[in-house]
Structure 1
Amino acid sequence: MEDWEREVDSINWKTMLAEIDQALLDNLAAEIGFRSYENLENASGLVAEDYHICHLSDNRWAYWNPHTYTREDPLFFEDRDTVIKHIAEMFGLVDEKLEQLKLGMDEVHQSHQCEYCKYEFLPSTTTGDWDTDKYCSAECAMESVLHEMKEDFVE
């Protein structure tokens, strides 16, 4: 019993809570289709009050909030007009504010889906040694080439 109490006393609760928070954010990213929260955040635009929007490779839009994720799932919309209508109604946007929303959504770039791992990603603007429109990373590009080589070898 004393060993158990000593173990509990030695737990760094702040570190544990930070790890749980990060795991929840990564789970949110995975639910939307991204490998990590950082990738999701980079591909998204801020709407208002911690609500974000991203344009997915299949042309849907995902609307999400990292602070309310444990209580409310991300919302998915089939087209731009539907998500604009939802946001405008939620925040009571009219006239100038509605136009700002539309302009802001024009700044959100559509993500791509990696041909190897199938995660969403925002194509890199830097040139790499791999096709940055097809693969999310050099690792996925390399794994894809190795997979093709193995298939050729087996045949």
Structure 2
Amino acid sequence: MRNLNKILLLLASVILLFITAVTAIAVCTKNAHPGVGLRKEDPSPKSISASKTAFNNIGQIRVFSKEDENAEKSVIVLIPWFEFDGTDQAFYEELDRKHQSIKLMFVNFFSNHTKAELLKLGEDSIKNELKAQINESLVLGKISGIYFNDYLFLD
């Protein structure tokens, strides 16, 4: 029994030493890029300037991406909000009236792309394309920015 404990302790030590060595090599050779795949957080609706207004009545959107070549889908969770110039109450009310059709635009966009396509497009391109689609449907004004409180892919 004591020999087994010594062997297990030796094995655990070798594994720990291996992990430490690989990590040190990756850091020293500059091959480690921690946080490279992380998304930069968008500002919150409370942080916009006084000359702009935030519209955050869309709520959470959960949508399946399009199936990829392996017939796999990803669940995408979004909480979008918009920013527009000024404090136009009539435009805010138009956004509020049309929030269901705007939500449908998000659902259609994300359900027509695979996870790989969305990652390749990038968040900025997606925001610009959605902003253009939404602005086409608006009459009283235009949104100046789209932001996401949540933008998650669940596999």
- TM above 0.5, one fold? no
Q: What TM-score does the superposition give when structure 2 sets the normalisation length?
A: 0.23
Larger radius of gyration between Structure 1 and Structure 2 = 2
Higher strand proportion (structure 1 or 2): 2
Structure number with greater CO (CA < 8 Å, separation at least 6) is 2
